[in-house]
Amino acid sequence: MQEFVDFLGGQVRVRAHEESLCLRIPDPRAILARPERLRFAAMHPGSARPRLIHDVGLHEAVQPLDRLMRPIVWCAATDRIRDVAERIGAAGLSCALVRTGGRVGIVTDLDFRRTVATGQIGIDAPVTELATVPALIVESNATRAQGLLRMIERGVHHLVVVDQAGRPVGVLRAVDLAGAEVRDPLLIRSAIDAAGDIAELAAACRLLPRMLGELCDDAVPATHIGAIHAAVVDAAIRRLLHLQQHPALDGVRHSWVLLGSLARREPLPMSDVDTALVWADPPVEVSGLEPGSSGTSSCTTAANTAANSTSNRAA
């Protein structure tokens, strides 16, 4: 018992009703007859202490972004890529903002690695050939949790922080949101985006249950975990639809709709995937879809069945 108290840092009082024997097992799956029954359990005893002492996760989740943002490195649309790279390095940052055509774009260190380092764009080209326009923004009064969720939803590592008037006042980086709740979801999101086939996508999705357990152990609020869960599953479905397109939808304007708890951003770990398919009236010669099925009336059971069957393959 004393060893257990020492493990918790000596700040937790444990009182037994009767004489008891406590066993501290790093990973009980090694001695269980049916370890697969613990497939949704997260074994991270080290994270229990801060959660028992005080609510670290909740405090950090509501921290406003204006306390975390970094200063902006500005550049003109005509600046050379080499000059912008030197400016970013001198400032010790990882991105720069550029005004072009009345909009604000962003160029990051990832852009330099993907296009400049590979020779796709020369170092003397204007920075606008490298920038993403418009840059994704987040309000300065948004919370840390909201900023992270936006990054996961869009698969980015930088956000432009704006004031109430919409003016850029800083830059938020993923590394500024330290912790497993930032690292693991973004890594899984990157693996989903990089999946070249169904097998690779399935491998990425199999990381999701463990990630949810780790977020819980790190005292991340349940509502925030649900939102992250939904954003990652949403990204997986988008990638799945890109990798496995149905020939009957070629040339037909359509949209997949996410329904239920995932759409509300409040799924449970075992929530199923509910989707619907909405399509415009196709030409009569297009097979596989019936004319006159545009609008919400085209949200058919068959579409839901197809989406769930393919999504289960990736999950």
**pLDDT single digits (tens) 173-220:** 887 775 545 567 878 888 888 888 999 899 888 888 888 887 887 777
- Predicted TM-score of the model (pTM): 0.54
At residue 147, the pLDDT reads 85
- Per the CB < 8 A criterion, the answer to whether 98 and 126 are in contact is no
- Best CA proximity match to 225, nearest among 193, 181, 164, 176: 181
At residue 313, the pLDDT reads 39
DSSP 64: B
Looking at the chain, the number of H-run helices and the number of E-run strands are 12, 8
- Span 110-139, average pLDDT: 92
Rounded to an integer, what distance in angstroms lies between the CA atom of residue 211 and that of residue 185?
A: 7
- Which one is predicted more confidently, 289 or 101? 101
- Best CA proximity match to 133, nearest among 99, 161, 110, 157: 99
Collapsing DSSP states into helix, strand and coil, what is residue 100? strand
- The pair of three-digit structure tokens given for residue 148, joined into one six-digit string: 């992270």
C-alpha dihedral (93, 95, 98, 103), degrees to nearest 10: -130
DSSP 119: T
Amino acid identity for residue 27 in this structure: D
Collapsing DSSP states into helix, strand and coil, what is residue 97? strand
At residue 60, the pLDDT reads 54
228-247 pLDDT tens trace: 899 999 999 999 988 988 88
- The pair of three-digit structure tokens given for residue 144, joined into one six-digit string: 């840390």
Beta strands 103-108 and 95-100, pairing class: antiparallel
- The CATH number of the domain covering residues in 65-176: 3.10.580.10
CA 213 to each of CA 3, 29, 208, 268: distance values in angstroms, whole numbers, following the listed order = 25, 15, 9, 12
Lowest mean pLDDT among 36-50, 59-73, 96-110, 167-181: 36-50
What stretch(es) of the chain map to CATH 3.10.580.10?
65-176
> Position of tokens 């390095």?
89
